Amino acid sequence: MKLRQQIVQERVEKTVQDLAVTEDVAFARFVHTLIVGQSMHAFDPADFVDGGQDKQVDIITLEQDDNEATVYIVQAKKTTSFSSNVLIQMRNGLDWIFNKSRADVNKLANVKFRDRITEYRSIQSAIGPSNIHVQVAFVTNGLEGEISEEFKQEEKTIRDQYDNDTFASFEFRAWGANELVTRMNALEKRDRKINENIRIRYDANNPSLIRYHAEGLKGIICSATAREIARVVNDDVTGSVFDANIRRFLGTRGAVNSDIFNTCSQADESYLFWFLNNGVTIVCEHCEAVTDPDNPHVKIKNMQIVNGCQTATTLALAEREGKLAPDTRVLLRVYEAADSDLVDKIVLTTNNQNKINSRDLRANDPVQVDMERAFASYGYLYERKPRQYDNQNNIDVQRIIANEIVAQSYLAVVLKKPSDARRRKYKVWGELYETVFSGQMIEPHVIATNIYRHAVRWLRQSQYTTDSDELRRKLVNNGAFHITRIAAHLWREGDSWQIGLPELRNQIEDLENNPETLNVHFEDALKLLETTIKKDKQYRADIDNALKSGTLDSHIDRALYKKRRVPK
């Protein structure tokens, strides 16, 4: 076994121990967090769709924004080879996801796979395939250099079939030990300092450099050749220069990155690049413009590209392919910002040309730091950033709570919006951010999150997960936030949170010491949710859409309040 394969194996063994799962499940969970960038502790059990029938799709994760979505399709096999036969079967699985008729899908014996396909189709129907990014990953602990020609042919067949402008972007990637460790290093190596001397265009007789100073802050605006930016990116093999960036590279299939690639690689248009592109924004510990006429450059210490990842990475790709036109130039903004708060503000304000709905954008907000401290007072490890505690030993991983789960639970229970919590969690990081994270008392967040976590465990262990009744099965697999909202009301005997700190602390203690008292309420919650949906013809006709409906939230409220008015 090679060194990198051994590193992956050790991480899998640690995951087995931390999560108390099998090696196969641990490998899948490990690679999922690397590919999706999601916390291992925010994993949705409904994403696991492995269940036989040789479709070779293990995980389907759906991330939906207001008007676009990303679907991650993962096959994770803890082997040391890349099987072309398994890839052929996975291609069959993709065909079921994207092409088979609903009538055929409904006949699938693998109900988890069937339910996820139905949910994906619902999203596709609502926003259209041109607004969906598809990322397909075939992952083993093998070595890329040992991939057979037959496997590569099957890869090409998949790309030819789906990478054809149907989707906003489509990417198929084979991941092995080298790719997994490289990605792991890029995510974990936050202390690496990148120092560069970036050559710039300078003419003493033609203003081409702006230096700006204010209140001890420094900024430089200038122009560099595209090849200089491509060099910086291509030399940084781990991608550490983008650690502070909130977007990953989206590929060149999307309209914006495709235009970037075309403009920088076409000789008759490349001179326009400076005028058409927003440029690249860099933050650093120190910057200095050197106006030597023979070697004009900017000396940059500990640089991070915080805006312009798509631009910089596309230029690097064009350079690697030998297509980058030599006269392509890029606008640079370089900010000397040792203050981490200022860096956070620059990241936030320079990334507003497209709507961002990522928890990462808010990870360093003061209120998130306060939440981390407050949760610690109750013995919990509040995860502001994915993988925040991965390298810490001697901690109880069962006490790790991702801020994403905290936000969704609060939205479902305290704000009584379980439908938004399930499929519109982007609202938490946008329009509802200050409502969810108000800086007020932390206890409602702790209570809501604990009830949700107990609900997930109860649902996972219930006999209904593979129930022959389609409605009940879908409610169990996809209605955790609705069941949490109802059970919380039943257990707390109402929705009021203005009951005083001592009482809230007592409820937290009860949840810690006697979580089994919730079970009867989960059972009642499932029945109430099932009854509510059965009463409405539209809900019955499309259960997936019903679980995303704000109207269902209102119907649940009415059912609960009516139940409390009935004399015992």
CATH assignment of 3-188, among 1.10.3470, 2.60.40, 4.10.280, 3.40.91: 3.40.91
Q: What pLDDT does residue 426 have?
A: 85
Q: What pLDDT does residue 450 have?
A: 97
Confidence of residue 354 (pLDDT cuts 50, 70, 90): very low
Mean pLDDT, all residues of the chain: 88
Q: What pLDDT does residue 387 have?
A: 77
Confidence of residue 182 (pLDDT cuts 50, 70, 90): confident
Confidence of residue 551 (pLDDT cuts 50, 70, 90): very high
What percentage of the chain carries pLDDT values higher than 70? 90
In 24-155 the beta strands, taken as DSSP E runs, fall at 59-64, 69-76, 132-139
Q: What pLDDT does residue 188 have?
A: 63
Question: 321, exposed or middle or buried, with CB in 10 Å at 0-12, 13-18, 19+?
Answer: exposed
Q: What pLDDT does residue 393 have?
A: 77
Distance of alpha carbon 142 from alpha carbon 102, whole angstroms: 36
Residue 348 near residue 433, CB atoms below 8 Å: no
Mean pLDDT for 374-384 is: 94
Residue 484 near residue 452, CB atoms below 8 Å: yes
pLDDT tens digits, residue range 297-322?
999 998 888 888 889 999 999 999 99
Residue 186 has pLDDT above 90, yes or no: no
Question: By mean pLDDT, which of 11-25, 171-185, 235-249 is the weakest?
Answer: 235-249
Lookup: tokens for 396:
């109880």
Q: Give Cα separations from 39 to 25, 77, 166, 491, 492 (angstroms).
A: 15, 20, 30, 29, 30
Question: By mean pLDDT, which of 16-20, 163-167, 242-246 is the weakest?
Answer: 242-246
Lookup: tokens for 291:
């106006």
pLDDT tens digits, residue range 448-497?
999 999 999 999 887 776 667 888 888 998 899 999 999 999 999 999 99
Mean pLDDT for 435-439 is: 92
Residue 418 near residue 480, CB atoms below 8 Å: no
Question: By mean pLDDT, which of 135-149, 188-202, 294-308, 379-393 is the weakest?
Answer: 188-202
Mean pLDDT for 183-189 is: 69
Mean pLDDT for 173-186 is: 86
Q: What pLDDT does residue 175 have?
A: 94
pLDDT tens digits, residue range 36-60?
888 888 899 889 998 766 689 999 9
Q: What pLDDT does residue 255 have?
A: 55
Question: Boundaries of CATH 3.40.91 in the chain?
Answer: 3-188
Mean pLDDT for 422-429 is: 86
Q: What pLDDT does residue 194 have?
A: 84
pLDDT tens digits, residue range 204-227?
788 789 998 887 788 999 999 999
Question: 395, exposed or middle or buried, with CB in 10 Å at 0-12, 13-18, 19+?
Answer: exposed
Residue 168 near residue 253, CB atoms below 8 Å: yes
Confidence of residue 359 (pLDDT cuts 50, 70, 90): low
Q: What pLDDT does residue 567 have?
A: 46
Residue 355 has pLDDT above 50, yes or no: no
Mean pLDDT for 3-24 is: 92
Residue 85 has pLDDT above 70, yes or no: yes
Q: What pLDDT does residue 28 have?
A: 95
Residue 248 has pLDDT above 70, yes or no: no
Max CA distance (Å), the chain? 90
Confidence of residue 568 (pLDDT cuts 50, 70, 90): very low
Confidence of residue 353 (pLDDT cuts 50, 70, 90): very low
Distance of alpha carbon 463 from alpha carbon 472, whole angstroms: 11
Residue 338 has pLDDT above 80, yes or no: no
